[in-house]
Amino acid sequence: MLLSICIPTFNRINHLDNCLNSILISSGNVTDLDFEVCISDNCSAEQVLDVVNKYKSFFKISFNKNDKNLGFPINAIQTINMAKGKYAWLIGNDDLLLPETLSTLKKMFNSFPEVEYFFINSLFLNSEVLENFSKPLDTRNLDLKKLKSISKLVENKRGDFWDVIDPEVSWDFLIGIYLNIFKRDKWVENKNVLDRDDIKDTNPWSNFDNTCMHPKILCTAFKNSKTYINTKPLSINVVGAREWSSLYEFIEIVRIPELLDYYRSQGMPILKYLYCKNFSLRNFFNYFCKIIIGGKKSGLNYINFKKHFFMNLFYPNVYLSIFYFMFRSLKKIKHLF
């Protein structure tokens, strides 16, 4: 087995239907690619298996349903435990493959057998746009030219893991699970880096490990590995379908800086760390205000003011973020007139 596409799922069966249909469309454009889809249902109230059964005759699917909701990290780990592929790709049930994705991946794996980690660029799509299309979505009908990509790079690049940790590659520094294809066995060997108690916490993003489970394992496993940055988008990240949208600001100015601290502890070069850490705080003050106003639903109860506020006051963007916010606000007002 060459590739395992691993999908932790919970409710949102319409999005899962779109996701699996995108895999079906992409599989029609490639021959002799030995791949599978591994789905773990986190005890959904919706009939996930009905959707899964629609596609079982088209490609290999392994399915598991948990007896109770185990939280995202454990459910995601379960999908990779189910996998048998040399490479694994962990994606959300609302992510989409593009029609040429699987054929491109086959060529990539054949061209770079020494690479253990691949960065896969992705496009943004507002979930409201999906309402304009028949269901399940046919990805061949999307106008990709109108969609923005996550990575700003235009040329593919071979290098090491720290080359990937760059805002030009990914502004969220790999928190997006769909950005990574990796040697499955090496990922599995390093999953014990996680705090077992923290990943059992089913409250969304309540601690570092249950938020940054995937990039923490990736860094530990592949920090000394050969990597490849693929700048051509091969997936679509649907924005607006997530239940945790009220925690967006919290993730950007609390969890992402924490992730960069972890990268530094694992050998990230100091100058790159300082540059990326400063970049991650570009919305610091206005987002911190939103968290305070939003209270518990925005993650205020998870904030350690010494660690998450005062320790960040050394970075220029903390103060410049006020001016960035004012500039954007004035620009919006100008457009109104």
CATH number of the domain at 29, please: 3.90.550.10
For residue 148, the 8-state DSSP code is: P
pLDDT digits (tens, 9 = 90+) for 214-227: 999 999 999 999 99
Chain segment 158-185, per-residue pLDDT in tens: 999 999 999 999 999 999 999 999 999 9
Flag whether pLDDT at 291 surpasses 80.
yes
Comparison of pLDDT for 244 and 37, the residue scoring more: 37
pLDDT of 243: 65
How does DSSP assign 74-99, residue by residue?
Answer: HHHHHHHHH---SEEEE--TTEEE-T
pTM of model > 0.75: yes
Q: Is 332 exposed, middle or buried (0-12, 13-18, 19+ CB in 10 A)?
A: exposed
* Position 17 confidence tier, pLDDT thresholds 50, 70, 90: very high
Residues 304 and 161 in one domain: no
Instruction: State residue 328's pLDDT score.
Output: 81
Residues 191-219, mean pLDDT to the nearest whole number:
97
For residues 275-288, give the mean pLDDT. 97
CA distance 170 to 121: 8
Residue 337 has pLDDT above 80, yes or no: no
Residues 42-63 have pLDDT tens digits of: 999 999 999 999 999 999 999 9
Q: What is the mean pLDDT of the chain?
A: 95
Contact 89, 19 (CB under 8 A): no
Q: Are residues 53 and 103 in the same domain?
A: yes
Residues 316 and 217 placed together within one structural domain of the fold: no
Domain check: are 169 and 302 in the same one? no
254 found inside a domain = no
Q: Do 309 and 167 belong to one domain? A: no
**Do residues 315 and 276 lie in contact, with contact meaning Cβ atoms separated by under 8 Å?**
no
Nearest CA among 219, 227, 220, 138 for reference residue 174:
219
Whether the predicted pLDDT of 336 surpasses 60? no
SS3 (DSSP) at 262? helix
Q: Which amino acid makes up residue 128?
A: E
- If you search the block for the tokens 């919305």, which residue do you land on? 283
**CB contact at 8 A, 59 and 37:** yes
CB atoms within 10 A of CB 107: 11
Whether residue 125 is contained in a domain is answered as yes
How far apart, in whole angstroms, are the C-alpha atoms of residue 181 and residue 218? Answer: 10
Residues 293 and 236 in one domain: no
The whole domain housing 278 covers 272-336
Same domain membership, residue 312 and residue 238: no
- For residues 302-331, give the mean pLDDT: 92
